Structure 1
């Protein structure tokens, strides 16, 4: 039996909250419990679902789905507006529970994170027992459920956390990794989306075992850079450490409108508001960047992005809005209705400074 071993076997936990936004809403509002619920979107068919409760998922409702499609699948679906300030606060409470066991925490979003518990604060020694303790604390103290995956690297731990959702705990030890991955349906692999899964199936790849038959060069030829990742992932190879201080490469603000915007002045007004919010986010993160990106999603769900890089670092709303206005003026907006606008800033000062101090990295 094949077994993955390393010089020092790490103990990695991936915690993923179950239907996080929807679960918080159902916890806080009893009338929403055990109901098919969508956070985001609206009952008139406008907007996009941010998160669906498991009762709604049973009907096929998923995040990023239009409200119209969600209602077709689940006519009795209930909608509620997101409360991101509450979700952020709950996320902090979850993070506080993590820190009881380790400081090596790499958050991926508000509702999921990697933990390296190779050396845990309480000297428990067992990653499985730590995962159980975290799940229990989240349930008893916050009234929410989480799923956990435990293994020797980040990739396997993430797959494991999704294996028995909701409220699951899956351990995949070194001696089980290869067999587990070989039987796993290809669409269950992290990083394989619908389009890639369809392409793989057209090649006769339905499971990890079939994917494993292809050489690294062949996968790179078929899938580009992702082919290298696919080659190593099906072998359970992932040497990435848990990074407590993840590098923020960009900060974005966007808004989906209940009614499509038709007039350019309306759009510019909303963009100015977004730039104001973005300034606050930049201030919170102590960031300033040179590249501004404008995102526009139209009523027919087509989308465009336009970017502009300045010689100066930006972190003030008025300066960002000036760049956004220039980008907006170059977009073909004639007779088009807009459902979403977004502004992103990237190429941060600290990242550029790192490039200047590292001769192997190029700034321009």
Structure 2
């Protein structure tokens, strides 16, 4: 007979537990509704109640990255081209994204919610889980707490920033509960409600069940929620091919497991290009600027990179990608030279195949990240030429000084009242000086929230 672990101790995946209908509520999960569009309505009261879309940049040749619920009523969704949105809803408000503002409002929201509950985990710019205390685990008390959180957001941050809330024994179940009613929902999912209350769920709507896992589930004969629920922990581990399957099983059954801290594996940026930047020469300048930004973040985290990947999406179709390795470095000059060599290889191949391509987007990533003192860097140091090592160190120091000057000057401009979204590089390479930082600034990754420093580089 297996014993369930104590609710206040997160079990290891190797713990043996028995699902219990008595698992108490333990987590409150908030999912902010149409977050980017809601922030625009928050900052611009005249947009409240109106259809709004947010676009990556000010252009008619792009698509929505967020749509308010008023816009969704017209069939407009993320990815809808701007021209189609204007046709579907004449008079719709089209707002260029202001990612630094979305991060600032996110921090205000977290500060307000933490007045009521301790933060457990931030999942993205618009999703977070909070831990209920023992006294708040009774369903009636938990609902009272959730309503108090919603009221605090409306009164102390802004009524346009609505959130759907889920209450459940685990973070995964609380997230699934929050998804049940949108916008502005509040759903309680108790252990005794399972599995029947989620029996209608499509498996791919569950976090952790992507296309690859779905293929493996189908091969195992698992094609609905009840079959997924009835798996055993070791079966889930075998289907997922890793301990993640077993962790998923525990979360689905109302238990939490210890999460190992993740190590940053790559740093990079990508951009969809406007018509102005779709020529090979202009696209290369954008790629270089994205790489300089990634390199600044690399140094900010105290990391070194050992490889660079570059990809380009072509218009109307097709693409190209490649990667190069080098000794661990923080030197932007080395990174730029590597990118230029890769870009020239790309152009040489394209010249053989026909006229110059139109480039729809570029992506650059620095990989093979390590910190000083780690084995990978120490081993390479044994074989490095002293003169080259000194040059690399001197160049890295130069770029770090440039990073610090840019950050310091930007902070001073902010204190003097420079408006949000108008950060600029005070020191840059001459070839990059014509690019606005608004166009190249940090963007929101849905699995993380950028640090404020990222908007300064």
In the superposition, the TM-score normalised over structure 1's length comes to 0.77
Matching residue within 298, 303, 325 for 1:309: 325
Question: How far is 1:322 from its partner?
Answer: 2.5
Whether 2:121 is the aligned partner of 1:106: answer: yes
Whether 2:94 is the aligned partner of 1:49: answer: no
Question: How far is 1:225 from its partner?
Answer: 6.5
Identify, as 1 or 2, the structure richer in helix. 2
Alignment of 1:1-364 (within 5 A): 6-9=4-7, 11-40=26-55, 45-67=60-82, 70=85, 74=89, 77-101=92-116, 104-118=119-133, 127-143=142-158, 144-192=161-209, 207-212=224-229, 228=245, 232=249, 235-236=252-253, 239-241=256-258, 247-259=263-275, 261-300=277-316, 302-314=318-330, 316-331=331-346, 332-334=349-351, 335-350=356-371, 353=374
Question: How far is 1:223 from its partner?
Answer: 7.8
Question: How far is 1:90 from its partner?
Answer: 0.7
Counterpart secondary structure, 1:90: helix
The separation in 1 between residues aligned to 2:237 and 2:48, in whole angstroms, is 47
Superposition CA RMSD, Å: 4.1
Question: How far is 1:336 from its partner?
Answer: 2.0
* 1:352–1:124 CA distance, 2 compared to 1 (3 A): farther
The total of aligned residue pairs comes to 349
99-108 or 223-232, larger mean C-alpha shift: 223-232
Identify, as 1 or 2, the structure richer in strand. 1
The separation in 1 between residues aligned to 2:171 and 2:28, in whole angstroms, is 8
* 1:146–1:348 CA distance, 2 compared to 1 (3 A): same
Point out where structure 2 has 5 or more consecutive residues left out of the alignment.
9-25, 379-457
* 1:324–1:105 CA distance, 2 compared to 1 (3 A): farther
Question: How far is 1:94 from its partner?
Answer: 1.7
Partner of 2:435: none
Question: How far is 1:208 from its partner?
Answer: 0.9
Point out where structure 1 has 5 or more consecutive residues left out of the alignment.
358-364
* 1:276–1:166 CA distance, 2 compared to 1 (3 A): same
The separation in 1 between residues aligned to 2:153 and 2:318, in whole angstroms, is 40
The separation in 1 between residues aligned to 2:38 and 2:162, in whole angstroms, is 8
The separation in 2 between residues aligned to 1:134 and 1:324, in whole angstroms, is 48
**Contact persistence 1:208–1:234 (CA under 8 A):** no
